[in-house]
């Protein structure tokens, strides 16, 4: 029989056992809660699966976020069934490694999300026991964005390397010791080297002695101080010994202390440009010398003109005087035929004298000083027209002279221009029943352009090249008076004003003469 004391002791022991069991159960629940919270809060993907058949027993919130499946969609199903492994064979490799006792840490493996997107993760795994069941605890760190960035960076570097190597410009980079660390293909092709022949060598080794000294003593110290240089003139030696003139510009990559790590330099071959500059300089010297020769020749020609004019005028005056004297003293005794010869001789001296005067005036135009002022061309044209009408009052000519045409130039020389152009139109409308002469202005190529237009005989444009040459007369103009230097005089005056003169015409449809002034 049990005594009351024994019954009480037994009850007390049972109470203690129940209390201890309850405390253990609570501690276990608390531990499970902590594990569950830690499991769910882990930012990496965590999966617990049955090792035997791969069925998912638990997944965390990161799994749902990264892979895209909800927890209730995967629990009880396997990763093979859901096709989560991009390459199912990799899962077999992982299981074999674990079975062999090897660690599975940070294997780069591809996974397929619910949407079909391929994700790249660093995969780690351990075999654990839950109760009596062996399970596979898997951890995946999603590195998809990092891999994408790395891939883009790799492509970018490849594009840069391709651009660097293939661009048709001489490029090279040096390190902080001045040694070549990279050169472009164009650099190699231009200078004739292989890449293996230049990398690691001091960049200044390829310069001429004078350029090397300049680079070492002046350019490089300043470049390593500032990290920049622009269009430095060097001479570089090709492998075959040929020397090229180049302009080098460079910029540097600096470290946190401001020291040069490496540089990127661009070299532009200016050999041909320098040769052309030297040739232009030589030509300019020759041109200046020829200009001096021409100026001296013009002075001599002008002096010759004056001398010839003076020497010719004296015998002409004698001939003219003798003709007049013969006519006065012996005119009654001469036959009409002889009187005609005397008159022809006298008129010839007058024409010769006029020609000499025209030559002198044409020669003076090259040296006459321009006295520029604002000139009313409309008023000047009307004066010229009035003078012509006074000379041949019987002519029917309609003058259409626009008002308000002004220009900047020498008033006396511009009067010569209008006198010749309007006078020319007057001459070549002589056979018209009613001549029409117009003076007006228009804009051509953004410039004020004056013109004189007539309805006269006109001319063939194939003969236009002769218009402004001295002593050139167009076919059909023989009946008109003149020596053929009027338009040449116009061209010379207009050119001295910085402008140009040209003409347009058709036979029988009149002519238009245009001129500009600056």
Cα 272 to Cα 88, 173, 249, distances in angstroms: 65, 25, 19
Q: Give the tokens for residue 264.
A: 């990127």
pLDDT of residue 467: 82
Convert the pLDDT of each residue in 166-210 to its tens digit.
788 899 999 888 899 999 999 999 999 999 999 999 999 999 999
- Quick one: pLDDT at residue 359? 65
What is the CATH T-level fold of the domain 42-142, as seen in this structure?
Beta-Lactamase (3.30.450)
Structurally, what CATH architecture does the domain formed by 372-516 represent? 2-Layer Sandwich (3.30)
Within this chain, domains 167-269 and 372-516 share the same CATH topology: no
Q: Domain 167-269, what fold?
A: Beta-Lactamase (3.30.450)
Q: How far apart are CA 83 and CA 143, in angstroms?
A: 20
Q: Are 398 and 437 in contact (CB under 8 A)?
A: yes
What is the β-pairing status of strands 397-401 and 435-444? Answer: parallel
Do residues 486 and 457 make contact, with C-beta atoms less than 8 angstroms apart? no
- How are beta strands 133-142 and 501-505 bridged, if at all? unpaired
- 58: Cβ–Cβ under 8 A, 6 or more apart, which residues? 39, 46, 47, 48, 75
**In this structure, are residues 154 and 139 in contact, taking their beta carbons and an 8 Å threshold?**
no
Helices (H) and strands (E) in the chain, counts: 15, 17
- The predicted pLDDT at position 364 comes to 66
pTM above 0.75, yes or no: no
Residue 393 φ/ψ region, left for φ over 0, alpha for ψ in the -120 to 50 degree band, beta for the rest = alpha
Tell me the per-residue pLDDT of 295-323, one tens digit each, with 9 for 90 and over: 777 677 667 766 766 677 778 888 888 88
| Per-residue pLDDT of the chain in tens (518 residues, 90 and over written 9) | 445 665 676 666 766 677 766 666 565 566 556 666 778 878 899 999 999 888 999 999 999 999 999 999 999 999 889 999 999 999 999 999 998 989 999 999 999 999 999 999 999 999 998 888 899 999 999 998 888 888 887 877 777 677 777 788 899 999 888 899 999 999 999 999 999 999 999 999 999 999 999 999 999 999 988 888 999 999 999 999 999 999 999 998 887 777 777 888 999 999 999 999 889 999 999 888 888 887 777 677 667 766 766 677 778 888 888 888 888 888 788 888 888 888 888 877 887 776 677 666 666 666 667 889 999 999 999 999 998 888 887 889 999 999 999 999 988 889 889 999 999 999 989 889 999 999 999 999 999 999 999 999 888 888 777 788 776 656 555 444 555 678 888 998 899 899 999 999 999 899 999 999 98
Q: Where are the domains of the chain?
A: 1-30, 42-142, 167-269, 277-364, 372-516
Strand order in the sheet with 228-237: 180-183, 170-174, 260-269, 243-254, 228-237
Integer Cα distance of 74 and 305 in angstroms? 116
Q: What is the pLDDT of residue 469?
A: 76
Q: What is the pLDDT of residue 200?
A: 93
Q: What is the pLDDT of residue 121?
A: 92
């Amino acid at each position: 029989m049990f005594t009351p004391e024994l019954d009480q002791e037994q009850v007390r022991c049972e109470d203690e056992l129940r209390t201890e069991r309850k405390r253990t159960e609570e501690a276990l629940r608390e531990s499970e809660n902590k594990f569950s919270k830690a499991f769910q809060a882990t930012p990496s993907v965590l999966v617990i699966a049955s090792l035997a058949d791969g069925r998912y027993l638990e997944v965390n919130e990161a799994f749902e976020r990264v892979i895209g499946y909800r927890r209730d969609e995967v629990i009880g199903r396997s990763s093979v069934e859901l096709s989560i492994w991009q390459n199912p064979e990799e899962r077999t490799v992982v299981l074999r490694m674990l079975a062999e006792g090897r660690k599975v840490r940070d294997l780069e493996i591809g996974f397929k999300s619910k949407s079909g997107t391929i994700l790249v993760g660093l995969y780690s795994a351990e075999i654990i026991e839950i109760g009596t069941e062996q399970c596979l605890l898997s951890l995946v760190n999603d590195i998809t964005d990092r891999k994408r960035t790395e891939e883009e960076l790799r492509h970018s570097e490849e594009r840069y390397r391709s651009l660097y190597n293939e661009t048709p410009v001489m490029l090279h980079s040096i390190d902080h010791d001045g040694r070549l660390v990279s050169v472009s293909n164009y650099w190699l092709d231009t200078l004739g080297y292989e890449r293996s022949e230049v990398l690691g060598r001091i960049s200044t080794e390829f310069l001429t002695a004078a350029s090397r000294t300049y680079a070492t003593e002046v350019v490089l110290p300043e470049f390593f101080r500032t990290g920049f240089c622009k269009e430095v003139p060097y001479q570089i030696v090709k492998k075959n010994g040929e020397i090229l003139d180049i302009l080098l510009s460079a910029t540097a990559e600096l470290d946190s202390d401001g020291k040069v790590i490496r540089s990127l330099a661009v070299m532009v071959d200016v050999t041909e440009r320098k040769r052309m500059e030297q040739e232009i300089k030589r030509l300019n010297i020759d041109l200046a010398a020829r200009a001096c020769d021409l100026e001296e020749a013009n002075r001599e020609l002008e002096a010759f003109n004056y001398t010839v004019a003076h020497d010719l005028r004296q015998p002409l005056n004698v001939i003219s005087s003798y003709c007049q004297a013969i006519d006065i003293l012996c005119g009654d005794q001469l036959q009409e035929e002889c009187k005609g010869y005397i008159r022809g001789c006298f008129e010839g001296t007058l024409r010769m004298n006029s020609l000499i005067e025209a030559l002198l005036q044409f020669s003076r135009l090259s040296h006459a000083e321009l006295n520029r002022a604002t000139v009313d061309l409309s008023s000047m044209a009307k004066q010229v027209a009035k003078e012509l009408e006074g000379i041949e009052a019987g002519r029917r000519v309609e003058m259409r002279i626009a008002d308000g045409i002004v220009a900047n130039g020498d008033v006396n020389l511009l009067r010569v221009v209008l006198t010749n152009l309007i006078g020319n139109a007057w001459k070549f409308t002589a056979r018209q029943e009613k001549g029409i002469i117009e003076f007006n202005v228009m804009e051509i190529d953004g410039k004020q352009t004056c013109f004189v237009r007539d309805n006269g005989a006109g001319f063939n444009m194939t003969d236009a090249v002769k218009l402004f040459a001295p002593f050139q007369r167009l076919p059909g103009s023989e009946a008109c008076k003149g020596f053929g230097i009027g338009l040449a005089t116009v061209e010379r005056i207009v050119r001295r004003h910085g402008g140009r003169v040209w003409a347009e015409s058709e036979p029988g449809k009149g002519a238009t003469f245009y001129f500009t002034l600056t």
